[in-house]
Amino acid sequence: MATTTMKNLLTQLKQVFLNNRVSIGADHIKRGIMAPRPTFPTIALLPNTENIIELRSGGQYVIQRDLSIEVYTKGLNPEIALNQLKSIVVGIVNVLQAQNLDSTSTLQSLAFDMTWGSEVYETPFEVQNQMIQVATIPMTFLSHENIPTGRTATSTVTETPQSSIVEFIYNKLLGYVNATDTFLDLTNVRKMYRKQIPPIPSYPAITVVGRGINRERTYRGVDVPMHDIEIAAFTKLLDKEWSLDMNLDIVEVLKDAVQFNNDWGGRCEDTLISSIQYDRADIADLGMVYRSRVLCLIKGYEYINE
Protein backbone atom coordinates (compact mmCIF):
# COMPACT_ATOMS: atom_id res chain seq x y z
CA MET A 1 0.00 0.00 0.00
CA ALA A 2 1.49 3.33 -1.10
CA THR A 3 1.71 5.64 1.90
CA THR A 4 3.88 8.63 2.82
CA THR A 5 3.92 12.08 4.39
CA MET A 6 4.48 15.47 2.80
CA LYS A 7 7.93 15.65 4.41
CA ASN A 8 8.94 12.22 3.12
CA LEU A 9 7.50 12.95 -0.32
CA LEU A 10 9.59 16.11 -0.67
CA THR A 11 12.68 14.32 0.68
CA GLN A 12 12.39 11.40 -1.74
CA LEU A 13 11.60 13.67 -4.69
CA LYS A 14 14.74 15.68 -3.92
CA GLN A 15 16.80 12.48 -3.84
CA VAL A 16 15.40 11.37 -7.20
CA PHE A 17 16.46 14.71 -8.71
CA LEU A 18 19.89 14.53 -7.04
CA ASN A 19 20.42 11.08 -8.53
CA ASN A 20 19.67 12.59 -11.96
CA ARG A 21 21.27 15.99 -11.44
CA VAL A 22 23.59 15.70 -14.45
CA SER A 23 20.80 14.86 -16.91
CA ILE A 24 18.54 17.55 -15.42
CA GLY A 25 21.25 20.20 -15.50
CA ALA A 26 20.64 21.82 -12.09
CA ASP A 27 23.52 22.72 -9.78
CA HIS A 28 21.46 22.95 -6.59
CA ILE A 29 18.31 21.15 -5.41
CA LYS A 30 16.65 21.82 -2.07
CA ARG A 31 13.43 21.54 -0.11
CA GLY A 32 11.93 24.83 1.02
CA ILE A 33 12.75 28.38 0.07
CA MET A 34 15.93 29.45 -1.68
CA ALA A 35 18.85 31.07 0.11
CA PRO A 36 19.21 34.86 -0.21
CA ARG A 37 22.20 34.29 -2.53
CA PRO A 38 21.46 30.96 -4.20
CA THR A 39 23.56 28.92 -6.59
CA PHE A 40 22.10 28.97 -10.11
CA PRO A 41 20.53 27.06 -11.70
CA THR A 42 18.54 25.77 -8.74
CA ILE A 43 15.40 23.74 -8.02
CA ALA A 44 13.21 24.37 -4.96
CA LEU A 45 10.56 21.87 -3.81
CA LEU A 46 7.67 23.34 -1.84
CA PRO A 47 4.42 21.93 -0.35
CA ASN A 48 1.08 23.42 -1.37
CA THR A 49 -1.97 21.51 -0.09
CA GLU A 50 -3.30 18.21 1.21
CA ASN A 51 -6.89 17.08 0.74
CA ILE A 52 -8.62 13.93 1.95
CA ILE A 53 -10.62 12.94 -1.12
CA GLU A 54 -12.08 9.57 -0.14
CA LEU A 55 -12.85 7.80 3.14
CA ARG A 56 -12.72 4.00 3.08
CA SER A 57 -13.60 1.21 5.48
CA GLY A 58 -11.20 0.10 8.17
CA GLY A 59 -10.03 3.60 9.02
CA GLN A 60 -8.29 4.08 5.67
CA TYR A 61 -8.54 7.12 3.41
CA VAL A 62 -7.10 8.47 0.17
CA ILE A 63 -5.15 11.72 0.40
CA GLN A 64 -4.10 14.06 -2.39
CA ARG A 65 -0.88 16.02 -1.93
CA ASP A 66 -0.02 18.95 -4.18
CA LEU A 67 3.44 20.49 -4.37
CA SER A 68 5.45 22.81 -6.59
CA ILE A 69 8.76 22.32 -8.36
CA GLU A 70 10.25 25.79 -8.81
CA VAL A 71 13.18 26.22 -11.21
CA TYR A 72 15.44 29.30 -11.23
CA THR A 73 18.08 30.24 -13.81
CA LYS A 74 20.04 33.38 -14.56
CA GLY A 75 21.88 34.83 -17.55
CA LEU A 76 23.24 38.02 -19.03
CA ASN A 77 19.98 38.42 -20.93
CA PRO A 78 16.47 36.88 -20.76
CA GLU A 79 17.05 34.60 -23.73
CA ILE A 80 20.09 32.87 -22.21
CA ALA A 81 18.31 32.32 -18.90
CA LEU A 82 15.12 31.14 -20.62
CA ASN A 83 16.91 28.60 -22.82
CA GLN A 84 18.60 27.09 -19.77
CA LEU A 85 15.30 27.11 -17.89
CA LYS A 86 13.49 25.23 -20.66
CA SER A 87 16.29 22.66 -20.84
CA ILE A 88 16.03 21.96 -17.08
CA VAL A 89 12.23 21.68 -17.27
CA VAL A 90 12.58 19.08 -20.06
CA GLY A 91 15.10 17.19 -17.92
CA ILE A 92 12.75 17.19 -14.91
CA VAL A 93 9.81 15.94 -16.98
CA ASN A 94 11.96 13.16 -18.45
CA VAL A 95 12.92 11.99 -14.95
CA LEU A 96 9.29 12.10 -13.80
CA GLN A 97 8.17 10.12 -16.84
CA ALA A 98 10.79 7.46 -16.13
CA GLN A 99 9.65 7.25 -12.49
CA ASN A 100 6.02 6.98 -13.58
CA LEU A 101 6.70 4.12 -16.01
CA ASP A 102 8.80 2.07 -13.55
CA SER A 103 6.59 0.21 -11.06
CA THR A 104 9.62 -0.29 -8.77
CA SER A 105 10.69 3.39 -8.75
CA THR A 106 11.03 5.52 -5.64
CA LEU A 107 8.02 7.71 -6.36
CA GLN A 108 5.82 4.76 -7.31
CA SER A 109 6.44 3.33 -3.82
CA LEU A 110 5.11 6.54 -2.22
CA ALA A 111 1.94 7.08 -4.26
CA PHE A 112 -0.39 4.96 -6.35
CA ASP A 113 -0.84 7.84 -8.78
CA MET A 114 1.17 10.93 -9.65
CA THR A 115 0.63 13.61 -12.25
CA TRP A 116 2.26 16.89 -13.18
CA GLY A 117 0.86 19.90 -14.95
CA SER A 118 2.24 22.20 -17.62
CA GLU A 119 5.04 24.46 -16.49
CA VAL A 120 4.23 28.09 -15.81
CA TYR A 121 6.84 30.68 -16.77
CA GLU A 122 6.98 33.90 -14.80
CA THR A 123 8.05 37.35 -15.97
CA PRO A 124 11.87 37.61 -15.84
CA PHE A 125 13.42 40.10 -13.43
CA GLU A 126 16.87 41.65 -12.98
CA VAL A 127 19.22 41.14 -10.03
CA GLN A 128 22.72 42.66 -10.06
CA ASN A 129 22.79 43.04 -13.85
CA GLN A 130 21.67 39.42 -14.34
CA MET A 131 18.28 38.32 -15.63
CA ILE A 132 16.45 35.72 -13.52
CA GLN A 133 13.94 33.34 -15.12
CA VAL A 134 11.51 31.21 -13.09
CA ALA A 135 9.27 28.27 -13.99
CA THR A 136 6.91 26.29 -11.77
CA ILE A 137 5.78 22.70 -12.36
CA PRO A 138 2.75 21.64 -10.25
CA MET A 139 2.64 18.02 -9.08
CA THR A 140 -0.09 15.89 -7.52
CA PHE A 141 0.35 12.60 -5.64
CA LEU A 142 -2.37 10.22 -4.44
CA SER A 143 -1.64 7.79 -1.60
CA HIS A 144 -3.33 5.89 1.21
CA GLU A 145 -3.30 6.84 4.89
CA ASN A 146 -4.78 5.39 8.07
CA ILE A 147 -6.67 7.13 10.86
CA PRO A 148 -4.91 6.60 14.23
CA THR A 149 -6.25 3.49 15.96
CA GLY A 150 -7.79 3.35 19.42
CA ARG A 151 -10.06 6.35 19.24
CA THR A 152 -13.33 6.16 21.16
CA ALA A 153 -16.75 7.60 20.35
CA THR A 154 -19.18 8.99 22.91
CA SER A 155 -22.80 7.87 22.76
CA THR A 156 -24.26 11.38 23.06
CA VAL A 157 -23.35 14.80 21.76
CA THR A 158 -23.43 17.74 24.16
CA GLU A 159 -24.67 21.05 22.80
CA THR A 160 -21.51 23.18 22.80
CA PRO A 161 -20.87 26.71 21.48
CA GLN A 162 -17.93 27.27 19.17
CA SER A 163 -15.93 29.15 21.80
CA SER A 164 -16.06 26.11 24.09
CA ILE A 165 -15.06 23.76 21.26
CA VAL A 166 -12.06 25.98 20.53
CA GLU A 167 -11.20 25.95 24.24
CA PHE A 168 -11.39 22.14 24.40
CA ILE A 169 -9.22 21.70 21.27
CA TYR A 170 -6.70 24.16 22.69
CA ASN A 171 -6.50 22.28 26.00
CA LYS A 172 -6.24 18.89 24.30
CA LEU A 173 -3.34 20.07 22.13
CA LEU A 174 -1.76 21.79 25.13
CA GLY A 175 -1.62 18.41 26.83
CA TYR A 176 0.50 17.09 23.96
CA VAL A 177 2.71 20.20 24.18
CA ASN A 178 3.23 19.91 27.94
CA ALA A 179 3.50 16.09 27.78
CA THR A 180 0.66 15.64 30.29
CA ASP A 181 -0.89 13.55 27.50
CA THR A 182 1.76 11.43 25.80
CA PHE A 183 -0.40 9.82 23.12
CA LEU A 184 0.96 12.38 20.63
CA ASP A 185 4.11 14.50 20.83
CA LEU A 186 4.06 18.28 20.38
CA THR A 187 6.76 19.04 22.95
CA ASN A 188 8.82 21.00 20.41
CA VAL A 189 6.05 23.64 20.24
CA ARG A 190 6.98 26.65 22.35
CA LYS A 191 3.70 28.56 22.43
CA MET A 192 -0.02 28.08 21.83
CA TYR A 193 -2.67 30.73 21.24
CA ARG A 194 -6.51 30.70 21.17
CA LYS A 195 -6.45 33.61 18.75
CA GLN A 196 -4.53 34.92 15.80
CA ILE A 197 -0.80 34.89 16.42
CA PRO A 198 0.50 38.01 18.25
CA PRO A 199 3.14 40.39 16.85
CA ILE A 200 6.10 38.87 18.74
CA PRO A 201 5.50 35.13 19.09
CA SER A 202 7.75 32.32 20.21
CA TYR A 203 8.36 29.76 17.46
CA PRO A 204 7.25 27.10 16.77
CA ALA A 205 3.70 28.18 17.61
CA ILE A 206 0.18 26.83 17.19
CA THR A 207 -3.05 28.83 16.97
CA VAL A 208 -6.62 27.54 17.33
CA VAL A 209 -9.16 29.95 15.86
CA GLY A 210 -12.91 29.77 15.14
CA ARG A 211 -13.61 31.10 11.65
CA GLY A 212 -17.41 30.90 11.44
CA ILE A 213 -20.48 28.66 11.50
CA ASN A 214 -22.52 27.24 8.63
CA ARG A 215 -26.17 26.45 9.52
CA GLU A 216 -27.50 24.97 6.29
CA ARG A 217 -28.78 21.69 7.81
CA THR A 218 -31.52 21.16 10.38
CA TYR A 219 -33.12 17.95 11.67
CA ARG A 220 -36.40 17.77 13.58
CA GLY A 221 -35.78 19.69 16.78
CA VAL A 222 -32.04 19.92 16.13
CA ASP A 223 -29.95 22.54 14.36
CA VAL A 224 -26.71 21.11 12.93
CA PRO A 225 -24.05 23.84 12.90
CA MET A 226 -20.83 23.16 10.99
CA HIS A 227 -18.06 24.89 12.91
CA ASP A 228 -15.23 26.17 10.73
CA ILE A 229 -12.09 25.98 12.90
CA GLU A 230 -8.49 26.57 11.87
CA ILE A 231 -5.50 25.00 13.62
CA ALA A 232 -2.30 26.59 12.31
CA ALA A 233 1.39 25.85 12.82
CA PHE A 234 3.95 28.65 12.52
CA THR A 235 7.72 28.34 12.14
CA LYS A 236 10.33 30.84 11.01
CA LEU A 237 10.82 31.09 7.28
CA LEU A 238 14.49 30.22 6.99
CA ASP A 239 16.44 28.92 4.00
CA LYS A 240 17.23 25.78 5.99
CA GLU A 241 15.49 22.49 5.35
CA TRP A 242 15.10 21.81 9.07
CA SER A 243 12.86 24.90 9.36
CA LEU A 244 10.41 23.44 6.82
CA ASP A 245 10.74 19.96 8.37
CA MET A 246 9.78 21.30 11.79
CA ASN A 247 6.59 22.75 10.36
CA LEU A 248 5.71 19.59 8.41
CA ASP A 249 6.31 17.38 11.47
CA ILE A 250 3.94 19.51 13.58
CA VAL A 251 1.26 19.32 10.88
CA GLU A 252 1.42 15.50 10.86
CA VAL A 253 0.81 15.45 14.62
CA LEU A 254 -2.04 17.97 14.32
CA LYS A 255 -3.64 15.85 11.61
CA ASP A 256 -3.47 12.77 13.85
CA ALA A 257 -4.81 14.77 16.80
CA VAL A 258 -7.86 15.93 14.85
CA GLN A 259 -8.61 12.45 13.51
CA PHE A 260 -8.09 10.71 16.85
CA ASN A 261 -10.16 13.24 18.84
CA ASN A 262 -12.81 13.57 16.16
CA ASP A 263 -15.75 14.08 18.58
CA TRP A 264 -13.72 16.22 21.03
CA GLY A 265 -15.04 14.52 24.13
CA GLY A 266 -18.68 14.42 22.97
CA ARG A 267 -18.83 18.11 22.09
CA CYS A 268 -19.55 17.33 18.44
CA GLU A 269 -20.59 14.43 16.26
CA ASP A 270 -17.56 14.36 13.97
CA THR A 271 -14.64 16.39 12.61
CA LEU A 272 -13.53 16.45 9.00
CA ILE A 273 -10.28 17.94 7.75
CA SER A 274 -11.46 19.95 4.77
CA SER A 275 -7.93 20.91 3.69
CA ILE A 276 -4.35 21.44 4.81
CA GLN A 277 -2.79 24.52 3.27
CA TYR A 278 0.94 25.25 3.30
CA ASP A 279 1.82 28.94 2.98
CA ARG A 280 4.89 31.07 2.87
CA ALA A 281 3.11 33.98 4.46
CA ASP A 282 4.16 37.61 4.82
CA ILE A 283 2.16 38.53 7.91
CA ALA A 284 2.01 42.05 9.30
CA ASP A 285 4.31 42.45 12.34
CA LEU A 286 5.68 38.89 11.85
CA GLY A 287 7.55 39.07 8.58
CA MET A 288 7.93 35.89 6.56
CA VAL A 289 6.89 32.60 8.16
CA TYR A 290 5.99 29.05 7.24
CA ARG A 291 2.28 28.89 8.08
CA SER A 292 0.47 25.59 7.67
CA ARG A 293 -3.27 25.57 8.31
CA VAL A 294 -5.31 22.49 9.16
CA LEU A 295 -8.85 23.56 8.23
CA CYS A 296 -11.53 21.63 10.11
CA LEU A 297 -15.28 21.29 9.72
CA ILE A 298 -16.79 20.22 13.04
CA LYS A 299 -20.38 18.93 13.07
CA GLY A 300 -22.20 20.00 16.24
CA TYR A 301 -25.74 19.92 17.63
CA GLU A 302 -27.94 22.72 18.92
CA TYR A 303 -31.36 21.70 20.21
CA ILE A 304 -34.30 23.84 19.10
CA ASN A 305 -37.04 24.70 21.55
CA GLU A 306 -40.38 23.99 19.89
135 shares a domain with 183: no
**Of residues 118 and 306, which shows the higher confidence score?**
118
pLDDT at 158: 85
Whole-number Å distance between alpha carbons of 229 and 162: 9
pTM: 0.92
DSSP string for 56-94: -GGGEEEEEEEEEEEEEEEESSHHHHHHHHHHHHHHHHH
199, 285 in Cβ contact below 8 A?
Answer: yes
275 shares a domain with 170: yes
Give domain status of residue 1, yes or no: no
48, 275 in Cβ contact below 8 A?
Answer: no
The whole-number average pLDDT for the span 166-181 is 95
Q: Is 205 helix (H, G, I), strand (E, B) or coil?
A: strand
**Of residues 177 and 268, which shows the higher confidence score?**
177
141 shares a domain with 58: yes
pLDDT band for position 199 (50/70/90)? low
Q: Which domain holds residue 81?
A: 6-146
pLDDT band for position 59 (50/70/90)? confident
177 shares a domain with 128: no
Q: Which of 43-47, 132-136, 147-151 has the lowest mean pLDDT?
A: 147-151
Q: Is 134 helix (H, G, I), strand (E, B) or coil?
A: strand
Q: What is the largest CA-CA distance in the chain?
A: 76
- CA distances 149 to 92, 145, 267, Å, are 39, 12, 20
73, 50 in Cβ contact below 8 A?
Answer: no
pLDDT band for position 196 (50/70/90)? confident
Q: Which residues of 157-194 are buried (b: 16+ CB within 10 A; e: fewer)?
A: beebebeebbebbbebbbbbbeeebeebebeebeebbe
Give domain status of residue 293, yes or no: yes
Give domain status of residue 113, yes or no: yes
pLDDT at 286: 61
**Residue percentage of the chain with pLDDT more than 90:** 66
137 shares a domain with 13: yes
pLDDT of 306 higher than 60: no
Give domain status of residue 152, yes or no: no
133 shares a domain with 172: no
**Residue percentage of the chain with pLDDT more than 70:** 94
Give domain status of residue 130, yes or no: yes
pLDDT at 280: 85
The DSSP output letter for 174 is H
Whole-number Å distance between alpha carbons of 292 and 255: 11
Structure confidence by residue, pLDDT tens digits, 282-301 = 665 566 789 999 999 999 88
pLDDT band for position 170 (50/70/90)? very high
Give domain status of residue 153, yes or no: no
What is the domain-level CATH number for residue 111? 3.30.70.1700
282 shares a domain with 170: yes
Q: Is 245 helix (H, G, I), strand (E, B) or coil?
A: helix
pLDDT at 261: 93
pLDDT band for position 39 (50/70/90)? confident
- CA distances 281 to 83, 276, 284, Å, are 31, 15, 9
Provide the mean pLDDT of the chain.
90
101 shares a domain with 21: yes
16 shares a domain with 61: yes
69 shares a domain with 191: no
190 shares a domain with 102: no
203 shares a domain with 141: no
Give domain status of residue 151, yes or no: no
Give domain status of residue 156, yes or no: no
Structure confidence by residue, pLDDT tens digits, 92-116 = 999 999 999 999 999 999 999 999 9
Residue where one domain finishes, among candidates 118, 146, 174: 146
pLDDT of 220 higher than 70: no
Residue where one domain finishes, among candidates 83, 114, 146: 146
Nearest CA to 79 out of 71, 91, 87 is that of 87
Residue where one domain finishes, among candidates 146, 180, 197: 146
Count of the separate structural domains present in the chain: 2
pLDDT at 14: 97
H/E stretch holding 48 reads: strand 42-55
